[in-house]
Structure 1
């Protein structure tokens, strides 16, 4: 024997003399035969786990040059409901301990298929996986997953890897289809990819696919997320602190601090006194003019009643409204396309926001949920998340989202929200949790807490409110070394 391990002996891996020795021991009863050419020294109760552990070796030995079949390949090469599908030279159903093998009369290895663990068992290329899973599957055992599943996989691929990845898949499938005799399936695949990319009207089966080919295509996954948030906002009563900056001077100071911190979150960092100089005291802007104008743009909309009280529209009017607000906010930054929806996809870390061609439809459909959410804090948080999650412009989205949020608070005479520097990490974290996990609770909890914090200050005296916020650690960056304090109770 070439090895002392007798847990699994495969005739396909042995020399003729070794095979004869193994056969003799099977007749003597010291080894057991699991299947033709598959022998073990383990007791029968251990066979299912052995086959599961050594599945690739066993299948390669029993069915050389087989290719993982459509359904199994679609799920990464694993058995589906205990059945492993293989494309082979004939059709047959074979029972192994703990595993059923469904052989399908099909094409052998083709261009792009890869050997698994260096053995004569092949995993099909992705174009082949998609084409074969669009074949008609009749009978009790479905060899292919069907169009709806393929459609969903294409949408997921597009969202994860973009337009170029789908284009490459289509090009490879076009070349491969005649070899496999799957020209009909390629025509279906071509139509589905065109539907996902928006280059043709296709008959889609999934909710996400239908959203892509709608009159105004939208992001169905984002819309489901907005609906989930709206449900929570309708069912959970939220705190709504009254406005505290009532005088003209108080509103001026509050608008300045709102703009200062809102820009700081986005990386536009100034010292508070420097910012005060050019925003409130008219000092000349001699350095960083673009960043300075970002600060002034948010300040202007936080202070001007026309902008500060402009609630978000719903349906198609929301498009012009957001474009107008963004055009005013970023009018000193022509390079970012003020008032123009983004032409390139944007992202924050691992989160990719709504792709450009779905921006309009997602805003239109998402905003239709606004009237169903109670006015005030609930509607403010929904409006903010809608704009933040779509990220419709090339720049200024975070600041725009917070301006939209605060307008919903101003019209019900509630305190506008300031997100201080020390709260930035928690604020962004709860948005990520809502995006990734669909869990709105941390978001609602965090925003109610910072809403109460904002309302705890007196904005009449700017020097005093800056000093009080500094004492509350509002200007600090590290949550490791600092805690955000409340002036009313923590500084007494």
Structure 2
């Protein structure tokens, strides 16, 4: 035995005496019968060392073993420390923090070398077949992951990688099924793959939600649904201020104008407020920018339609109808963007990919199920906007329709809407990105709350006064202007509003005092 000891030493007939000597000298300590380590940490902390080198240890104690069953499927030890292998050992082996659980079996040509060849890892086909087999746990977790887990796994492979991936797994399973005695499981797998691919009827007893949804024709993106659930849990436990909407129709019409103006500005449709007034109230469509003008006009028509916004949305079908109807109105000036029709090609923002076209309806439906379980109007608004934004169901106009769905939830409850002024554009988009990327709901919700606390006290009954107050609260500043001038959005206080002389703003009025 070399004086330079490896981290772990397996005892043999040749080195037993030397190991015994080194144990007495304090150079080695026993991990488990037959395995020693030169790491002399306290024995009650050996499980940490074992966890850091678990696969190396399995290879030393069970050379040539095949990682199988639940362990191969999950690619890690089970939560109770179980590691399932096919091995020549005839009994399980307990080591600090773990238990190697053995069974008989054979190695196939498809099983992959693992840990430098000391172990083998089950092939994808074998993993699926083994984990479809029923098992009952004598102690700890069951040996196999079970049918529900495999159904979900196969649907995910199909969703992420297409038909080719599913067919490859099935072909690989066929090549080993007889060798490992899994003919019955192979028959189930064949029928399940056919159902997922739409080429066969569904076998009885499919239970994985994603697989059931795909077989029923409404597949969804389970990663996005997990995002929705996390946000829902956050919102479900929160209580937000109740801020009533303006009392007069005139004021609510002014709200709708500025909601439309700022919502389009966020998307890069930039007009001066006076230009937007001419588009909306005088129907003056600039010849050089007709589509941009129709974007503002379409958004305003939805935002100002109190009957549509107040209509009940108590089923997914009514939610979907409102979403398509509002998108169609927003994008009516861009027929090439297929207004009101879900996308047929994938869309992205930079490198971030939104929900795939075939998963749009199913993902929206799952999102709606969480939405309907929220009672607070602000919570519903924030949730609805994120769902639509994250799915991005249309070729274009997704941000605008998402914000309309948000404010529709508030308008239906007679609550003040959330208007996102130009100065808050970057913060708002960063909040959305943070929620998508790492689940940071706090920043997203804070931005929406700030924007609502700014818009709620506006003097909406006076259009020219509102414009002036917006100027004084820095609402029109672009992000770089705000940074360079060291300015931020400020809340319009009664003192600020009263300090602005009405006479000074009358000249800026460029629309009739009431809407037709």
TM-score (norm. length: structure 2): 0.74
CA gap of 1:161–1:98, structure 2 versus 1, over 3 A, is same
Q: Is 1:342 matched up with 2:343?
A: yes
Contact 1:238–1:448 (8 Å) recurs in 2:
no
Give the match for residue 315 of structure 2: 314
Task: Tell me how far apart the structure 2 counterparts of residues 47 and 445 of structure 1 sit (CA, whole Å).
Answer: 46
Of 273-282 and 56-65, more deviation after overlay is shown by 273-282
Contact 2:62–2:89 (8 Å) recurs in 1:
no
Gaps of 5+ in 2: 500-516
- Residue in structure 2 matching 1:239, options 234, 239, 242: 242
Task: Tell me how far apart the structure 2 counterparts of residues 358 and 458 of structure 1 sit (CA, whole Å).
Answer: 43
- Per the TM alignment, residue 55 of structure 1 is displaced from its structure 2 partner at its CA by 3.0
Contact 1:311–1:407 (8 Å) recurs in 2:
no
Task: Tell me how far apart the structure 1 counterparts of residues 391 and 320 of structure 2 sit (CA, whole Å).
Answer: 12
Task: Tell me how far apart the structure 1 counterparts of residues 53 and 82 of structure 2 sit (CA, whole Å).
Answer: 15
CA gap of 1:38–1:211, structure 2 versus 1, over 3 A, is same
Contact 2:228–2:387 (8 Å) recurs in 1:
no
Task: Tell me how far apart the structure 2 counterparts of residues 373 and 138 of structure 1 sit (CA, whole Å).
Answer: 39
Q: Is 1:325 matched up with 2:330?
A: no
Q: Is 1:78 matched up with 2:77?
A: yes
Task: Tell me how far apart the structure 2 counterparts of residues 233 and 59 of structure 1 sit (CA, whole Å).
Answer: 45
Give the match for residue 477 of structure 1: 479
- Per the TM alignment, residue 485 of structure 1 is displaced from its structure 2 partner at its CA by 0.7
Contact 2:364–2:387 (8 Å) recurs in 1:
yes
CA gap of 1:197–1:270, structure 2 versus 1, over 3 A, is farther
What CA RMSD, in Å, does the superposition of the two structures yield over aligned residues? 4.4
Give the match for residue 94 of structure 2: 95
CA gap of 1:338–1:76, structure 2 versus 1, over 3 A, is same
**Equivalence map 1:198-347=2 (5 Å):** 200-202=201-203, 203-214=205-216, 222=225, 225=228, 229=232, 236=239, 238-243=241-246, 246-247=249-250, 253-272=254-273, 274-276=275-277, 278-280=279-281, 282-305=283-306, 307=308, 309-312=310-313, 314-346=315-347
Task: Tell me how far apart the structure 1 counterparts of residues 93 and 372 of structure 2 sit (CA, whole Å).
Answer: 59
Contact 2:11–2:35 (8 Å) recurs in 1:
yes
Contact 2:135–2:143 (8 Å) recurs in 1:
yes
- Per the TM alignment, residue 419 of structure 1 is displaced from its structure 2 partner at its CA by 1.5
Q: Kindly tell me the number of residue pairs found equivalent between the two proteins.
A: 482
Contact 2:227–2:439 (8 Å) recurs in 1:
no
Contact 2:132–2:150 (8 Å) recurs in 1:
yes
Of 324-333 and 407-416, more deviation after overlay is shown by 407-416
- Per the TM alignment, residue 298 of structure 1 is displaced from its structure 2 partner at its CA by 0.7
- Per the TM alignment, residue 127 of structure 1 is displaced from its structure 2 partner at its CA by 3.6
Task: Tell me how far apart the structure 2 counterparts of residues 449 and 151 of structure 1 sit (CA, whole Å).
Answer: 44
- Per-residue Cα deviation, 1:255-298 (whole angstroms, up to 9, x for no partner): 33212211233343445455455455555534454444322221
Gaps of 5+ in 1: 13-18
